[in-house]
Structure 1
Amino acid sequence: MRFALVGTGLMAQEHIRNLALVEGMQVVALVDPEESSLDWAKASLRESFGTSHDNIACFANVSDMVGAVDVDAVIIASPNYTHHDVLLPLLETDLHILCEKPLCTTVEDAQDIARRVAGHQGVFWVGMEYRFMPPVSSFIADVHTGRAGQLRRLALHEHRFPFLRKVGDWNRFNRNTGGTMVEKCCHFFDLMRYIVQAKPVRVFCSGAADVNHQDERYDGQVPDIIDNSYTVVDFENGVRALLDLCMFAEGSEEQESLVAIGDKAKLEVGIPSGIKVFSPRSAQNTPAEIVREHVDVDSSVLAAGHHHGATYFQLLAFLDAVAGRGPVQVTAEDGVWAVAMGAAAELSAREKRAVEIAELLPL
């Protein structure tokens, strides 16, 4: 398959490395207005594919690329605020599209794209990589097969480093990202919906910009992105879910951990350890028979990215959908819900109140 990359920054480099792991994949076009980013992508292509891509077709915008080069699929890894406009000309073609999260920065734009996708002939896939981390996929399968019994509680924790630097540091401001709860946490809100398998009805978020980027200035402006928060989501089936985010916790042993508790057992998984823990309920004062399992991931896949192999396994699933061997696992509708939950969390944190999802998105 012949791919074009739209946006050639940090996440595009990860896609390049993973495309190189799959036989028959080619990158034939790059789209980015920044020359330095294009040069970076060419160097990454040379390193990953082992051949020079110095003469690869390069374009400053998508409209110029469409029809000018033979392409089968497009990966969109440009800044969040560009997604809506980048997608408009692509959705008038029959190209297969993998659009990085978040789908858009606002619920309205995400809904507009979802409506347009309904008439699109190619595969449309939203890049929610976290579903595809092998330890997380195994954890989700355990929940869905009832290993913990009937699910009642779900907690997702991410204790990590601050946002990385990007071209122009566009990710320092809510106006460009949709806010941290959209930009970063849409992954986790997507996981919540996917695991709970019910609609979210209410979101309460307590969060603020307390530590990171406070000494940075951009045209005199201080970054306003949330760097830590607690978010509680109520689902229509009675399950409660918690997201615990801290982006000044670089020393954490596990960057992500997921905990599901049902009426029969507790399930946990950690990243990067890949260790799953099964703790069944036991009689009072009787030790539980705890089971620990390790989910292995090939070292070459781990080395190709920063998402514990998820980008690679998502790519394989995307290719299966393109070939008709499998379904589109992350749809535009999934993307809309994730944006809506993140936007509700941002609104909740600002207004210090619980926000009904119906305020932003009809249920």
Structure 2
Amino acid sequence: MTQQFNYGVIGCGMMGQEHLRNINLIDGARVHAIFEPDAEMARKSQEFAPDAVMCGSVAELLALEELDCLLVVSPNYLHVEQLEEIAATRPLPLLMEKPLYTDPEHAARIAEIQASYPAPIWVAMEYRYMPPVAKFLDALEKTTGGVKMLTIREHRFPFLPKVGDWNRFNEKTGGTLVEKCCHFFDLMRLALKSDPVRVMASAGQVVNHLDEVYNGERPDIWDSGYVIVDFANGARAMLELCMFAEGSRYQEELSAVGPDGKIEALVPGPGRFWPDELGDAPTSQVIVSPRYPKGPKVLDIPVDDSLLAAGDHNGSTYYQHVNFLAALRGEGEIEVSLQDGAWAVRMGHAAQQSAATGEAVAL
């Protein structure tokens, strides 16, 4: 019989509800309790977890004896405070949404938790688990003979509305190169098997949210940029972000090149945004291009329809939870550590600093 895990979920906005839908697909997992302070989001979350206990605070949720693990999907600026409350009150196994923190000064607080937290913490870097990206990562070394150049492009839609419009302001998100791009910096470290030593960036707000005003304040969140990262092992990586390019066929395009060849991954955006008049939404692909003999091979990487229906991340949320629970059962390892999550944020902050100052930032 599969071991049952009862989740306590903190935060059930748009991404939190995606987590709920995916937990529902997993044998041996259920949402036992939810804390969501926004009444409308709480109501919507009950559609996906009708039997969950609705709690009025983090403390009330943590007091429930039935909980086996926690999932934090609250707004970015609450992450550190809530992580500290959990660590001090009831440090259960935890899946923590990205970004791990938003302010560079929070890094020391995260390091303190890392040194003392007695249970597993997994940082939610979903992009690792998109099937085309997972295939790309698995075939990377064999195809390239050791990656020397890695490029990640995301051409996508603007930031969606969130409760209280918190994602329109750098103070609450950590900045676009933290909030949105920590996924990509995590992929860089994972793919290159090395840590960054220098970051250079050019980025800013050029199209989106320029005419919006919230409580008398104009959004300052960036919508585009380039980031170049040098790594300790001599490899280089580049990120290209554009958040006013939702007309693209593919949302993410990854390319890695080494002495033996090149491999690419092409990942479509959420199917719900694909126009019906254009027919079926694109299928994910991986393209393997050896140098000798030449002959690119295109591999379609279909994603199960039920997983596509459960969220906007090509099934990755589901696979992430499956692996997280396997680790809790002793059948796998924690694959995305607090250190991984902290590095991704640190790289994002360095990129923000570089773009703001026009200078390279050493790490």
**Does 1:115 pair with 2:112?**
yes
Name the structure 2 match of 1:78.
74
- 1:43-82 alignment, distance < 5 Å: 43-45=47-49, 52-53=50-51, 56-82=52-78
C-alpha distance in 2, partners of 1:254/1:281? 25
1:322 aligns with 2:318: no
SS of the aligned residue for 2:228 comes to strand
2:303 aligned with 1:297, yes or no? yes
Tell me, what secondary structure is at the counterpart of 1:250? coil
Contact 2:288 2:296 in 1 (8 A): yes
- Are the aligned partners of 1:103 and 1:110 in contact in 2 as well (CA < 8 Å)? no
RMSD (Å), alpha carbons: 1.3
Task: Provide the residue aligned with 2:46 in structure 1.
Answer: 42
Structure 1 moving runs of 4+ over 3 Å: none
- Cα offsets for 1:67-88 (capped at 9, x unmatched): 2452111110000000011111
| Pair 1:279-2:289 in alignment | yes
Is structure 2 residue 25 aligned with structure 1 residue 5? no
Q: CA deviation at 1:136?
A: 0.4
Q: How far does residue 115 in structure 1 lie from its aligned partner after superposition?
A: 2.5
Q: What residue number does 2:34 align with? A: 30
- Contact 1:84-1:110 within 8 A present in 2 as well: no
Secondary structure, counterpart of 1:91 in structure 2: helix
In the alignment, the residues of structure 1 paired with residue 301 and residue 104 of structure 2 have an alpha-carbon distance, to the nearest angstrom, of 36
Matches within 5 A, 1:204-243: 204-243=200-239
Letter paired with 2:117 = H
Whether the 8 Å CA contact 2:143–2:290 is kept in 1: the answer is no
Among all aligned residue pairs of Structure 1 and Structure 2, give the percentage whose two residues are the same amino acid.
Answer: 44
Structure 2: give runs of 5+ residues left out of the alignment.
269-282
Match of 2:151 in 1: 155
Does the Cα contact within 8 Å between 1:126 and 1:331 map onto a contact in 2?
Answer: yes
Whether the 8 Å CA contact 1:153–1:262 is kept in 2: the answer is yes
Distance 1:57 1:148 in 2: 50
Alpha-carbon offset, residue 257 of structure 1:
0.7
Q: Deviations over 1:141-183 (max 9, x none)?
A: 1113x32112110000000000010001100000000000000
Find out whether 1:124 has 2:124 as its counterpart: no
Instruction: Tell me by how many angstroms 1:195 deviates.
Output: 0.3
**Residues 68 and 15 of structure 1: CA distance in aligned 2, closer, same or farther (over 3 Å):** same
Moved more, 155-164 or 58-67: 58-67
Q: CA deviation at 1:322?
A: 0.6
Q: CA deviation at 1:282?
A: 4.7
Check if 1:355 corresponds to 2:351: no
Question: TM-score w.r.t. structure 2 length?
Answer: 0.92
Give the structure-1-normalised TM-score: 0.92
How far is the alpha carbon of 1:297 from its aligned partner? 2.0
Letter in 2 for 1:101: K
Q: Shift in Å at residue 241 of structure 1? A: 0.3
Say if 1:2 and 1:70, in contact at 8 Å, map to a contact too.
yes
Q: CA deviation at 1:137?
A: 0.8
Within 2, Cα distance between the matches of 1:203 and 1:319?
Answer: 35
- Equivalent position to 1:345, from 346, 351, 354: 351
C-alpha separation in 2, matches of 1:226 and 1:300: 33
Partner of 1:99: 96
Could you tell me which residue of structure 2 aligns to residue 360 of structure 1?
A: none
